[in-house]
Amino acid sequence: MKMLILGFAALLATGSAFADTQPQAPVIHDKTGFFVHLDVDKVLSTTDISQECGIIPARLDYLDHKGQEHVLDYQVEGSGCTNDH
């Protein structure tokens, strides 16, 4: 019986040693509007609008000064229109 308890305790200790103990903070989806305060410390990715024409959906993924990941979805005019004067 002691061997069974020791084996079970060892199994629990091994499982907890490999467990991810870092809690994952949820990604914050910022709201769009006329004025949106952005605390951008590092840009992770942006939508490439160089080949698009007209109003298109775009996305900005960034980290704030606390290291929290944010996502901002917005509308932008693409810069790939060839008939602009």
In tens, the pLDDT along 6-41 reads 555 665 565 555 555 556 778 888 877 767 788 999
Indicate the pTM of the whole model: 0.62
- Domains of the chain as residue ranges with CATH: 23-85 (2.30.140.50)
* Per-residue confidence (pLDDT) for residue 82, from 0 to 100: 79
Return mean pLDDT, the chain.
79
Q: In this structure, what DSSP letter does residue 49 have?
A: -
- Lookup: tokens for 38: 């952005």
The span from the CA of 75 to the CA of 15, in Å, is: 46
Place of tokens 């993924």: 61
Q: For residue 68, name the pLDDT band (cuts at 50, 70, 90).
A: very high
Better pLDDT: 37 or 69: 69
* Per-residue confidence (pLDDT) for residue 30, from 0 to 100: 81
- Lookup: tokens for 71: 């996502």
